[in-house]
């Protein structure tokens, strides 16, 4: 039986080898075609420069340097960025145990809406959510039990209800 070979109609995007691909497949891939898995893998690589010598390294390695020599010179360089740590006077980061403990102690270890006092159930609620620009200042925080917290987020307790709006006003004046 005679081998049937098609005439190449395109080139591999990586190694420029002439190959044949069905016209419908070329249309789906906007003309990109690869001769095999190796070339496709090479095309998917993301690289970044080494911070010392500028050689390209794979970005997926999460490293800054390309070799042990570059790493050693990077450690000795004065241009390396060091973490400055927490600034004095600011509260401990949101989400840490010490932050939660401090807020609960300041608020008498009970829900500010209903007075529930089982500490493991209490949560800290941001009046203005952090993703909307709210911060971790005391005037933006409330201690709520899980029930009251879910009522706030579902809209049952909102700024239009008298008791909750009064609580928000007291919170703002007390902790400002």
Q: What's 139's domain CATH number?
A: 1.10.30
- Among residues 62, 88, 111, the one where a domain terminates is 62
Residues 113 and 156 in one domain: yes
Average pLDDT over residues 55-70: 84
Domain membership of residue 146 (yes or no) is yes
In this structure, is residue 5 part of a structural domain?
yes
Asked whether residue 82 is assigned to any structural domain, the reply reads no
pLDDT band at 18 (very low <50, low <70, confident <90, very high): very high
Domain that holds residue 44: 1-62
Q: Considering its fold, how many domains does the chain have in total?
A: 2
Phi and psi (nearest 5°) for 129?
A: -60, 150
Mean pLDDT along residues 135-157: 87
Domain boundary, last residue among 62, 83, 115 = 62
Q: Are residues 56 and 122 in the same domain?
A: no
User: Would residue 72 count as lying in a domain?
Assistant: no
Residue 116 has pLDDT above 60, yes or no: yes
Tell me if 35 sits within 8 A of 51, measured CB to CB.
no
pLDDT band at residue 146, thresholds of 50, 70 and 90? very high
Give the Cα separation of 51 and 74 in Å (integer): 8
Q: In this predicted structure, which of 15-24, 104-113, 147-156, 157-166 has the lowest mean pLDDT? A: 157-166
* Domain identity same for 1 and 57: yes
Q: How wide is the angle at C-alpha 131 spanned by C-alphas 125 and 133, nearest 5°?
A: 90
Q: Pick from 62, 77, 107: which residue ends a domain?
A: 62
Which of these ranges, 48-52, 135-139, 148-152, 172-176, has the smallest mean pLDDT?
172-176
Closest by Cα among 139, 134, 142, 137 to 114: 142
Q: What is the pTM of this model?
A: 0.45
- 168 lies in the same domain as 104: yes
Percentage of the residues of the chain whose pLDDT score is greater than 70: 84
Residues 102 and 166 in one domain: yes
Of all residues in the chain, what percent carry a pLDDT higher than 90? 11
Mean pLDDT in residue range 104-113: 88
- Residue by residue, DSSP assigns 77-137 as -TT------PPTTSPPPTTSHHHHHHHHHHTTTS-TTT----GGG-EEEESS-GGGT--S-
Looking at the structure, tell me whether residues 51 and 118 fall in a common domain.
no
76 within some domain:
no
Decide if 116 is inside a domain: yes
Class of residue 136 by CB neighbours under 10 A (exposed 0-12, middle 13-18, buried 19+): middle
Tell me whether residue 68 is in a domain. no
CB 100 within 8 A of CB 107: no
In this structure, the answer to whether residues 58 and 124 fall within a common structural domain is no
Residue 170 has pLDDT above 80, yes or no: no
Answer yes or no: is 69 within a domain.
no
Residues 105 and 169 in one domain: yes
């Amino acid at each position: 039986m005679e081998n049937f070979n098609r005439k190449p109609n395109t080139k591999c995007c990586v190694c420029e080898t002439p190959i044949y691909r069905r016209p419908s497949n070329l249309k789906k891939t906007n003309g990109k075609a690869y001769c095999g898995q190796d070339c496709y893998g090479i095309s998917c690589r993301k690289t970044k420069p080494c911070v010392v010598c500028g050689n390209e390294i794979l970005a997926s390695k999460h490293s800054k340097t390309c070799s042990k020599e570059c790493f050693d010179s990077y450690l000795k360089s004065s241009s390396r960025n060091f973490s400055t740590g927490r600034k004095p006077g600011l509260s401990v980061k949101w989400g840490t145990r010490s932050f939660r403990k401090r807020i609960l102690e300041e608020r008498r270890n009970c829900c500010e809406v209903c007075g529930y006092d089982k500490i493991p159930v209490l949560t800290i609620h941001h009046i203005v959510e952090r993703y909307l620009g709210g911060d971790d200042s005391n005037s933006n925080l409330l201690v709520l039990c899980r029930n009251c917290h879910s009522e706030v987020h579902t809209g049952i307790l909102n700024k239009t209800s008298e008791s909750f709006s009064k609580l928000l006003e007291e919170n703002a004046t007390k902790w400002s």
